[in-house]
Each structure stands twice: as structure tokens, then as C-alpha cells.
Amino acid sequence: MLKYLIEKEFRQLLRNPFLPRLILMFPLMVLLFLPLAANFEVKNINMTLVDNDHSSYSRQLRQKILSSGYFRLTEISSNYSQALKTIESDKADLILEIPPGFEEDLIREQTAQLMISVNAVNGTKGAFGSSYLSRIINDFNMSIITELALIKDIRMVPSFQIISQYRFNPYLRYPVFMVPALMVMLLTMICGFLPALNIVGEKEKGTMEQMNVTPVKKPTLILSKLIPYWIIGFIVLTLSFGISRIFYDLKPAGNIFTIYLFAFIFILAISGFGLVISNYANTLQQAMFMMFFFVITFIFMSGLYTPVRSMPEWAQILSIFVPLKYMIEVLRMVYLKGSGFADLMVELFFLVGFAVFFNLWAVVSYKKVN
């Protein structure tokens, strides 16, 4: 019986003018463009400079800032109040004011005061901008001190330098961090939405009622909807592995079959979730809206963009119930750290739990009779 139902699902899917293409295009688009577009690195910070010193040091500083590549000089103002106008009119993100006597103070006392004013409307850009700028200025300061130490006989202030080494992602490349997680998002979208919409579509057309008067059992019907999306999920995942290999030179540090095994369970969980939704929605509109609500919540709570550990405590507790969180951890750990099966027992436990829970719920809430 199941064989005929699955055969039917595949016939319908392949005959659909749109879905097969979507299934191929979607991973390509998400993996190629999202890591480039949704990047936390801030560039093109617009800076207004107020230089009250006009010395060779102030010119050097300006040169150093601009050559870092993060800043763009929007304007050079003659005084602070004029500079403030560029922030008010949203032309600049920050103002750097160099006080008069900057060079003299530096030579005499090895320190000088600078003022950075930040436009905090775009908080991220502002915060990143001022921290980049401070780092550049510190760097500049250090090089001046060493330079002066050679000429004049001054006591060198003992100083530290912190050298950071980043394990698992040495260059802090953003795609390395994002691509594995985006694969989970892809699986969620494809394997969560499609079976749910498929069932609700059949409800709307009336073909589901026809199925309900046949002897097809509830679990059989549900399996017939799950299995095709399982297979599609594996195709999408394999495609994603290929894309990340070719375009980001990214291959899992761990065993790829660990990922497949976890994907098997994760797809079951997320499709089961979609099926639960489909049992409560009577129209495609309702189903779409419910799915969006949950999937968007899941994505933001999962640690895909922002780490779960830095969320407020209530949010961390909520994120325990987000299946995506565990799968994203699995993919990042296998891809970046090369974790094996034994390191992922907690994730395995939760994902199996979700899979069982959602699918039982789907079978129980599926009503052949009303």
C-alpha cells in the first residue's frame, strides 16, 4: 500500500513545474549569497574628521586610519559643531576630533587625548566602528612611543601585547562558521514546509477526504508523506556539501556519515513538526503563517546568527525546545572541530526525542474522522 502512495508522491513532485527546480536552486542561492550578504564584518564606516592640530602626527594618524580599509572620510570639518551636523544628517557614522597641541602632548608626555563621537542609530556599526578606531589609535600610539624612545632617552613603559590564536577557524572566516548552520536552515525550510503544505493542499482539494474513506492507516499515510522528503533532504544536504567544498573550500573535519546520520533524525523531527502543523491548519494560508511563525522563531533562537549562550536566561531556556539548535551544533562541531559520534550524545538524545515526539503527535492529531 505504502509503495503506491510513495510512487504517487514522487510522480506529483516530478510533474510539478516548480518544486524540483526550487529544491535545486534554493541551496545554491542560500549558500552562495547569504554568507556574503549577511556578514557581521562592518566596512565603509563614514568618518568625519576635525583636525585642530594640523601637525605631521595628526596627518600620519589620518593616513593610518584610512589605509585600514574600514573607514571612509566623508568630510573634514573645521570645528566640532559643524562636524556634528554630518552625524545629524546621517552622512557620518562617527567623528574623530584631534585636539590642538596633539603632537606636542605626544612628544612631551607620550599621551594625548582624542575624542570619538559615535552615531548610535545603527548600533552595530557604531560599536564596531569605535572599537576598530580605538584599536588603530592604540597601534599608532605604540608606534609613536617606540619611535620616540629611539630618539630621546625616555623610560619605556613596559607594555603587553596580546596575540590571539583562534582554534578551529584560524582566520575567523565568516563562511566557515555560517555555511554549516545554513545547511540546517535549508533542511528546515525544505523538509519542514513542503510536507506540511502538501498535506494541507490535499485537504483543500478534497483528495485527503477521499484518502480518509480508503483503508489507508494513519501511520502509513504519514510515512508516505515523510519518506519523499527524507530523500529530498538527503539530496539537498549532499548538494550543500558539494557547494561548500567548491565555493568555500570547506570540508568537514569530522566524518561526513555522522552528519548524514544526524540529518536522518533531524529531518524526521522537522518533517514531523510540519505534519503536526498541517493537522491543525485547514487552509494553505493558515499553514504558511503558522510555519513562518515557528520557523522564524526557531531560526533566531537556534544560535544560527547569535550565540545561544549570550541570550538572556529565559531565552536560553526556551532554546532548549528548538530542534534546530542541536542540529546546528552538530554541524558546526563536525565541520569545524571534527567531533565524532561520542561527543554528540546530548544532541543525539534531544533530536531523537524531538523526532519521536513530533511524529507521535502527528499520528495522534491526524483525524480521519470528525
| Residues in touch with other proteins (CB under 8 A) | 1, 3-5, 7-8, 11-12, 15-16, 205-207, 209-210, 212-217, 368-370
Nearest to other proteins of 173, 218 (CB atom): 218
DSSP secondary structure letters along 85-125? HHHHTTS-SEEEEEPTTHHHHHHHHS----EEEE--SSHHH
Across the strands, what pairs with 77? 50
Work out how close the CB of 269 gets to other proteins at its nearest, in angstroms, rounded to a whole number: 28
Nearest to other proteins of 146, 207 (CB atom): 207
How many CA within 13 A on the CB side of residue 231?
11
Nearest to other proteins of 18, 160 (CB atom): 18
Report which of 193, 116, 110, 107 is spatially closest to residue 157, judged by C-alpha positions: 110
Work out how close the CB of 212 gets to other proteins at its nearest, in angstroms, rounded to a whole number: 6
CA–CA distance, 31 with 180 (Å, rounded to integer): 9
Backbone φ and ψ of 101, nearest 5°: 80, 15
Nearest to other proteins of 151, 213 (CB atom): 213
CA–CA distance, 297 with 311 (Å, rounded to integer): 14
CA–CA distance, 367 with 370 (Å, rounded to integer): 7
Nearest to other proteins of 4, 292 (CB atom): 4
321 neighbors 242 (Cβ within 8 angstroms): no
CA–CA distance, 114 with 51 (Å, rounded to integer): 10
Work out how close the CB of 3 gets to other proteins at its nearest, in angstroms, rounded to a whole number: 7
Work out how close the CB of 202 gets to other proteins at its nearest, in angstroms, rounded to a whole number: 9
- Give the containing element (helix H, strand E) for 261: helix 256-280
Work out how close the CB of 195 gets to other proteins at its nearest, in angstroms, rounded to a whole number: 17
Work out how close the CB of 216 gets to other proteins at its nearest, in angstroms, rounded to a whole number: 6
The count of other CB atoms within 10 Å of the CB of residue 11 is: 10
Nearest to other proteins of 125, 225 (CB atom): 225
Work out how close the CB of 205 gets to other proteins at its nearest, in angstroms, rounded to a whole number: 7
Across the strands, what pairs with 96? 49, 116
298 neighbors 175 (Cβ within 8 angstroms): no
Nearest to other proteins of 158, 206 (CB atom): 206
